[in-house]
Amino acid sequence: MTLAKPRMGRVIFDGLFANNPVFVQVLGICSTLAVTNVFENTLVMCIGLVFTTGLSNFSVSLLRSLIPGRIRMIVETLVIASWVIVFDIIIKATLPEISKALGAYVGLIITNCIVMGRAEAFALANKPLISMADGIANGLGYTWVLLAVAFVRELLGSGSIFGVRVLGEWWTNWNIMVMAPGGFFVLAILIWIVRGRMLRSKEGVR
């Protein structure tokens, strides 16, 4: 484990920034982008995603020597689906209103490409603990991007954050931000800013 320590830091940094699943790999935006018009719902969805990637990476890694190569995809899917069911039951019991608002989207974490992608690319080849760290780091890397999108959308679209109105009466809500196109535009602009920075800093190094 002493050897794994420095790598652990690397893995976490990659998931959060250097290899961020949204900016660099553009994966997994399907299931969560739809709920980013309300900050609170996004937060719950993202917690679910971190929970699922962390634990499914951990379990897939534990099982990795037992899974036959040919059916590994379906085994991974089943592991992921089981954890999503656990999460779904937890939020149904503790946050029934948000659970209702999220509706089908909690179930769609199963087909979020990040979860599957990390299980396939990392957990199958690495030890359980570091796999779990990788899963959590990627989940968090995804979370901060989506929360940023949700922040902009809720602020401009409803003039509020966490359901609390922060902009005064003078503010006219941008309805487009609450509707579907807003999500596409905000994410695109965010990707533009971050990728532009990345390109520039790469050139600076050279």
Binding site residues, other proteins, CB under 8 A: 26-31, 33-34, 73-74, 77-78, 81-82, 84-85, 88-89, 103-104, 107-108, 110-113, 116, 176, 179-185, 187-188, 191-199
Q: How far is the CB of 27 from other proteins (least distance, A)?
A: 6
Give the shortest CB-47-to-other proteins separation in angstroms. Answer: 18
123 vs 56, 77, 196, CA distance in Å? 9, 13, 31
Cβ-based nearer residue to other proteins, 9 or 196: 196
CB of 136 to other proteins, least distance (A): 21
Output 99-105 pairs: Cβ under 8 A, ≥24 positions apart.
Answer: 101/35, 101/38, 101/41, 102/35, 102/41, 102/44, 102/45, 105/31, 105/32, 105/34, 105/35, 105/45
Residue 88 beta carbon to other proteins: minimum distance, rounded to whole angstroms: 7
Q: Output 9 or 96, the one with its CB closest to other proteins.
A: 96
Q: C-beta of 18: minimal distance to other proteins in Å?
A: 17
For residues 130 and 186, which CB has a smaller minimum distance to other proteins in the complex?
186
CB of 191 to other proteins, least distance (A): 4
Nearer to other proteins, 12 or 122 (CB): 122
| Minimum CB distance to other proteins smaller for 116 or for 130 | 116
Nearer to other proteins, 50 or 79 (CB): 79
